[in-house]
Amino acid sequence: MVALLKKERKSQILKHINIHSKVTFNELAEMLKVSEDTIRRDLAELSDSGEILRIRGGAMSAGNMFISKTSKTTYAFEKKQVIAKKALELLNEGMIILIGGGTTIDEFVKIIPDNFRATFITINPVTSLELLEKPNIETIILGGKLSSYSQTVVGGEAFSRLAEIKADLCIMGTNAVDATEGITDLDWESVEIKKAMFKAAKKVAILAISEKLNSVKRLRICHFEDIDFLITELNPSENRLLNYKNSSVQIL
């Protein structure tokens, strides 16, 4: 019975990490009503089996690792493909675009047409390498401290550069989105750099699989009505999106 409970607990942990990309020990302990020591042991076993990657204070999904990955290792790959195709509708030639990172962003970058011309500015090393495959895109990666939690650039140097940028569009994945609580995350440095990116762009588009809807993390990046587009794999008329239509945000 104990082994069965442990197996189910690890299954729930793995699903939660795959949905939200990154989690903390405390978050998992509260969710599953167990001690952080228990969570640490479970994560150690999941890490040893290659299913997750342990990071300081928690864990992240295997699909977000810097190592080469295929679509087979990407959670909800088909949903993310749908989102990526919708996001292409926002692109216009000659744009200056701020872009984050993550598996949904990866799928989006992969399907950008080779003849599309624009400038992309990113804080994510993986995204920058994906963009280099596009012959007509100028890629700029901001410098600064590389966060072990988010695997993105954070810190003063990046903030200074962002303060000088006037981008047409910011395209960002998210850890959690809620119609009332807005766009939220767990890590303070990640939250602050995303705030700066949103401020530097005329329009903001959030890409999120539906499993991230109605979820809230401890730190707010912005209120929901502060973004311009929410892109999910769902048909915009679906009931699950009703709460998100009481604002000026365009649902795609």
Q: What is the dihedral of CA 120, 236, 202, 119, to 10 degrees?
A: 10
What is the mean pLDDT of the segment spanning 155-171? Answer: 93
Q: How many CB atoms lie within 10 A of CB 94?
A: 9
208-232 tens-digit pLDDT: 999 999 999 999 999 999 999 999 9
Fold of 72-251: Rossmann fold (3.40.50)
pLDDT at 1 over 60: no
Q: Round to the nearest angstrom and report the end-to-end CA distance of the chain.
A: 45
- Domain residue spans in the chain? 2-64, 72-251
Average pLDDT over every residue of 25-35 = 86
Q: Does domain 2-64 match CATH 1.10.10.10?
A: yes
- Cα–Cα distance, 154 to 144 (Å, whole number): 6
Average model confidence (pLDDT) across the chain = 88
CA–CA separation, 203 and 223 (whole Å): 14
* 30: three-class secondary structure by DSSP: helix
Instruction: Provide the percentage of residues in the chain whose pLDDT is more than 70.
Output: 94
Half-sphere exposure of 77 (CA within 13 A, CB side): 9
Would you say 53 and 177 are in contact if contact means Cβ atoms under 8 Å apart? Answer: no
